[in-house]
Amino acid sequence: MDKSPDAFRTISEVAEDLDLPQHVLRFWETRFTHIKPMKRGGGRRYYRPLDVDLLKGIRHLLYDQGYTIKGVQRLLRENGAQFIIALGSGDTAAAEAISQQKQAAVREEEAISAEQDRVDAAEEAAVMGAPKSSSHGRRLFGLIKGDDDGPVVADGKRLSKDNRTLLQETLFDLLECKRLLDQVR
């Protein structure tokens, strides 16, 4: 007497149906978190029909398509169990539809993330202000050369106003660099 298609299957029934040893099914449970048979008293496993379909998909990918365990894990992570079930049953149209839905969801997520990045940048600019453009700092490091880029003459023992401003801006730049480095650490 055959069981109903909706009935739970024992590990021996599933192993026979998939033409696999029982220890392979137990091993796959450790590698694929999506496989979760119900366990009764004494540790006896009962596989739901969806579990059996997922196992058929995994078997198809590993043995017929030549995927590695890591490759199937990646497919499960990226596309979900229904995708693997569709591939295992040979329903390429359903697998393609699932894949397109996942890609559309990823594109939508990326668009939302990009918009959030733009909002965050605008908020940061409003709080921090626009970066200050100073030719003095660039002149100090020799990045811009001009006719008036020579040294500023000091009066006696005191620094000239231009030299003091240049040193003050350099100090602020160095302090900002230190602050940024401290944030990274």
Q: At what angle do helices 92-128 and 69-79 cross, to 10 degrees?
A: 70
What are the chain's domains?
9-119 (1.10.1660)
38-39 vs 45-47, strand pairing mode = antiparallel
Is 104 a residue whose pLDDT tops 90? no
Higher pLDDT, 143 or 83: 83
Higher pLDDT, 150 or 68: 68
d(CA 64, CA 6): 26
d(CA 78, CA 92): 17
Instruction: Report the mean per-residue pLDDT for the chain.
Output: 81
pTM value > 0.75: no
Higher pLDDT, 170 or 128: 170
